[in-house]
Amino acid sequence: MINSKELIEYTENLTVLFVEDHDELREDTTEMLKNFFQKVECASDGEEAIEKYTTYYKNNSKYYDIIISDIHMPKVDGIELTEAIYKVNSSQIIIILSAFDDSQYLLPLINLGVEKFIKKPIDFQELLEVLLSASKKVKQKNIQKNETLIDQVELNSNLIYDREKESLLLENENIYLTKYEIIFMQLLTTNIGKIYTNENIVENYKVNNENLDKQNIRKILSKLRKKLPDDIIKSIYGIGYRITPKV
């Protein structure tokens, strides 16, 4: 059984958006969550959730730490909501509630990378356990954000990307990278394992005073992959790309 004090240690400074179309369940669960989290907001369907998610970011310059959402809702369902969120924030932690075990409902969300599924009716002890695990991940992510970036990223036993020198080194021999390839590598090695969307990539080129259309991302990626071992840069279908070292 989860110790409430332990849970609060991880959740007291975090924010949650709870999305559920059943009024009584939404209200009761929201009140329960308020015992643990700094801020809890709720939405009655995916459409309202997207609006609140966007507004919260505009007002606070950050996203909710955790999203908890039902899968079957009017207007915009849990799958559509997840897709919309990952387009703007691929690292968002999302927990899905579902009364169904059917893979046709859950598989798309598994492919998107949803944190956890909880079957309805909700076992609140199970929910607390999942929230503890998710909150620990949020804390770890926040620690990593505050840490100094690693200068050298070991891609495999022979290949290193040096962020400071903007160089790709194979057994200490430099592999030529174009300016556009360097910008791509600098982004993907900022946070190893994080998925960067097409929107993230295009925006990063703008920050570096370069223009890049979404249609040309694959062209750069294709040329860059020829200089890297297989599967170092992975494509996450419908979401984006990430670096996966083979050390």
Are residues 84 and 173 both part of a single domain?
Answer: no
Are residues 115 and 138 both part of a single domain?
Answer: yes
CA–CA gap between residue 202 and residue 199 (Å, rounded): 5
Are residues 59 and 134 both part of a single domain?
Answer: yes
Are residues 131 and 29 both part of a single domain?
Answer: yes
Are residues 30 and 113 both part of a single domain?
Answer: yes
Low-confidence ranges of the chain (pLDDT < 50): 148
Domain with 76 in it: 4-146
Q: What is the structure's pLDDT at 236?
A: 86
Are residues 109 and 85 both part of a single domain?
Answer: yes
Q: Could you read off the pLDDT of 167-193 as tens digits, one per residue?
A: 999 988 899 999 999 999 999 998 888
Q: How many domains does the chain have?
A: 2
Are residues 159 and 140 both part of a single domain?
Answer: no
Q: What is the structure's pLDDT at 40?
A: 97
Q: Which of 146, 178, 193 is the last residue of a domain?
A: 146
pTM: 0.60
Are residues 164 and 100 both part of a single domain?
Answer: no
Q: What is the structure's pLDDT at 148?
A: 47
Q: What is the structure's pLDDT at 169?
A: 93
Cβ neighbors of 18 (< 8 A, separation 6 or more) are 26, 29, 30, 33, 40, 41, 42, 43, 68, 69
Contact present, 17 and 57 (Cβ < 8 Å): no
Are residues 98 and 160 both part of a single domain?
Answer: no
Q: What is the structure's pLDDT at 45?
A: 95
Q: What is the structure's pLDDT at 144?
A: 57
Q: What is the structure's pLDDT at 11?
A: 92
Q: Which of 89, 118, 146 is the last residue of a domain?
A: 146
Tell me, what CATH number does 203's domain have? 1.10.10.10
Q: What is the structure's pLDDT at 137?
A: 84
Q: What is the structure's pLDDT at 103?
A: 57
Are residues 67 and 102 both part of a single domain?
Answer: yes
CA–CA gap between residue 37 and residue 52 (Å, rounded): 17
Q: What is the structure's pLDDT at 101?
A: 64
Q: Which of 146, 179, 214 is the last residue of a domain?
A: 146
Bridging pattern class, strands 173-175 and 167-170: antiparallel
Contact present, 166 and 208 (Cβ < 8 Å): no
